Amino acid sequence: MNECSFILSGLRAPLRETLHIQNPVETARAGIGRILTARGITHGFAGHPATSGLFFNPQPPSNYREWLNSDYEFYDAVAEELHEPGILVEPDSREPWFLGAAHDMKCVEETLDKFAGAVDITMAKSPQERGKVKTSYVQ
């Protein structure tokens, strides 16, 4: 980390916002949320934004039974679609996604574009084509 990065990373959020400094980790999680909300897909996040879990349920599960009631099949289908364009996410929805210092804003923007495409492809498929899905998001 260079000296400027170190200094800027220590700034409090209101000052970062005033200086228009974007945080890639926060931007990624917020962007995923906006993409899913715009498509009417119920979702929730667990954990720190840098190691965030994504669930297709209003609240992240706190036990295995709650996870079984989430739409993990939709997660599985989206994760599979993300692998083709080179976005490697954990195929198991119980595991977090990792963002690190190497993920800059350009990387986050590319990831969000590919995530939106993967969600759209998944939604366009019939439940039989994408696997056993509890809730159909195709209208």
Residue 103 in domain: yes
Residue 138 in domain: no
Residue 4 in domain: no
Residue 49 in domain: yes
pLDDT less than 70: residues of the chain: 1-22, 130-139
DSSP 127: H
- Phi, psi for 45 (deg, rounded to 5): -120, 150
Q: Please count the structural domains in the chain.
A: 1
pLDDT of residue 101: 72
For the stretch 3-31, pLDDT in tens is 444 444 554 555 444 444 468 878 888 99
Assess contact for 46 and 52: CB atoms under 8 A.
yes
Residue 126 in domain: yes
pLDDT of residue 130: 67
Residue 16 in domain: no
Q: Which domain holds residue 59?
A: 23-130
What's the rounded Cα separation, in Å, for the pair 75 and 58? 14
Q: What is the CATH number of the domain that holds 52?
A: 3.90.1150.10
Q: Which residues contact 63 (CB under 8 A, 6 or more apart)?
A: none
Residue 8 in domain: no
How many CB atoms lie under 10 A from the CB of residue 15?
Answer: 11
How many CB atoms lie under 10 A from the CB of residue 33?
Answer: 14
pLDDT of residue 131: 62
pLDDT of residue 22: 65
